Amino acid sequence: MKSFAALVIALGASTKTNDKLQALINYFGVADDADKVWVIALFSGRRPKRSVSTSLLQQWCTELTQMPGWLFQECYHTVGDLAETIALLLPPPQEQLIEYSLTFYIDQLKKMDKEDEEKKKAFITSCWMQMDTSERFVFNKLITGGFRIGISQNMMVNALAKMVQLDAAVIAHRISGNWDPSTTSFTALLNASSASDHSKPYPFYLAYALEDTLHEIGHPNEWQAEWKWDGIRGQLIHRNNELFVWSRGEELVTEKFPEYYSFKEYLPSGIVLDGEIICMKSTTEHSFQPLPFSLLQTRIGRKNISKKQLTEAPVAFIAYDLLEFEGQDIRHKPLVVRRSLLENIINKIPASCLQVSPIIYFSDWNELAALRLQARDNGSEGVMLKRKKSVYQAGRRSGDWWKWKIDPLTIDAVLVYAQKGHGRRSNLYTDYTFAVKDGDKLVTFTKAYSGLSDKEFTDVDAFVKKNSLEKFGPVRTVHPELVFEIAFEGIAASNRHKSGVALRFPRISRWRKDKKPDEINTLEDLKRLLHLYQH
């Protein structure tokens, strides 16, 4: 556990990619195989089920420290991280420090799930008193779940690739899919293949946002353009007469979309499609009209899908790439070859809820720029540009795939509530709630916590501390004086919000120091946008 704690601290403390990469390589070079597997699992989002609630952890910490609850909460709000707060507040260890492996602690925590509260308390507090501060912090993270330490899965894959002398793309594929770190050995994991696990997906290829001008990326003839659909990225796999659906977050979501089971009748076996899970209604056999993302949200997170939801939120799959054909990985083939095979397969299928993403034909960059302005009317977020000769890579790469999104919608609003942030902003008020006018009153409609510079966050924090009206736990109400432009990607009706609307990906676009509170937008302006863009 000491070596894993040291790794986590080193990764969190460094801002240099090479230093983080070397720390991972060093760890994988000395750790036990079982611990290596768990590190791969933890850093790729596979976390053990939480066996102890955060409220119990707080309670046991206050009992050990004899600290009143209100003081603990003040410390928590200042530090911004529960695991770190507890690690800092606990008294020095009073028992002899005993070294156990990472795997030992994870196994014990899994067993704790079925124990009563007293046994859980005895185990957790005993562990605390045998650990130093860094070990306590990491141990608490194992309990609460969530290692946000500034490393990407690509970085971990690159470290493994250097250690075992395999190509990074091969490693990325082998650690993807539905494997259990409790029963999978390190050797078996790195030697796995899709043949041994029919459900195994491929690592997703992700695009960067286009920041250069179109003329700087090359000649238009080198590129294929498609609409950027507003859904959930997914892979649809048909192998061994079984169908599997994976989300980009490597979650197996097959049962959430029963409409896809019919695809087994039409799709050949040994095939993997990359595409978009989206709500839509078909207009003709090979054309469709996307429906708002808010409809798809009604299906997300539900274990059982009702007949009403199947009718009101019909789900389809828009395929835009072919990764496996006849059981063979074809990611190394040029896009034009993969696209041709994809069209030959999908266009023969009568299932209207399985479509090929149409290509946008254009003769020059100016024409494409004009077509892009129609994106929102088409139910998309913009345009995807893909180099015709590109192979299908793993992870986020620049050069061959670009996303060129349309400009966001914006609304001017006033700051009314503020709350302290987390991590390095845990001592600053950086989480804000905004309101628009509704007659002579203000109506809250969204929250946002990104988009300002460090200096601007500091200035707003100072304003909040000087102009607070009331305090409700960690939240403060403030004089409605500061006006901000809020940018967002979409808008939907919502009966869960007082305003009646919900925004998609809201963030602060700019601080409107040139505007006064009586110049902000109105609730009617929001509803007008809702009417315009709700298909």
Active site residues: 228
Q: Six-digit token pair at 463?
A: 């304003």
Element (H, E) at 304: none
Q: Six-digit token pair at 215?
A: 């003329």
Distance CA 85, CA 58 (A): 9
Residue 459 main-chain phi, psi, to 5 deg: -65, -40
Please check whether residue 241 is in contact with residue 264, taking contact to mean a CB–CB distance below 8 angstroms: yes
Distance CA 289, CA 358 (A): 12
Enter the DSSP assignment of 271: E
| β-bridge partners, 412 | 485
Q: Which of 6, 183, 172, 178 is nearest to 110 (CA)?
A: 183
Residues in CB range of 127: below 8 A, 6 or more apart: 105, 139
Distance CA 225, CA 220 (A): 9
Give Cα 49 distance to the centre of its chain. 19
Q: Which of 79, 166, 151 is nearest to 426 (CA)?
A: 79
Q: Six-digit token pair at 279?
A: 């709500």
Tally of CB atoms within 10 A around 212: 8
Distance CA 329, CA 354 (A): 22
User: Percent helix, strand, coil in the chain (nearest 5)?
Assistant: 40, 25, 35
- Mark 33-51 as b/e (b = at least 16 C-beta within 10 Å): ebbbbbbbbbbbebbbeeb
Strand positions, DSSP E, 53-193: none
Give Cα 128 distance to the centre of its chain. 31
Residue 250 backbone class (left: φ over 0; alpha: ψ -120 to 50; beta: rest): left
Distance CA 178, CA 499 (A): 41
What ranges in 279-382 are assigned the alpha helix state H? 293-297, 307-312, 335-346, 365-372
Give Cα 93 distance to the centre of its chain. 37
| Amino acid letter, residue 261 | Y
Distance CA 236, CA 298 (A): 21
Q: Is 357 helix (H, G, I), strand (E, B) or coil?
A: coil
Task: Please give the angle made by the CA atoms of 35, 23 and 92, to the nearest 5 degrees.
Answer: 70
Tell me the CA distances in angstroms from 291 to 236, 282, 294, 384, one per residue in order. 20, 10, 8, 19
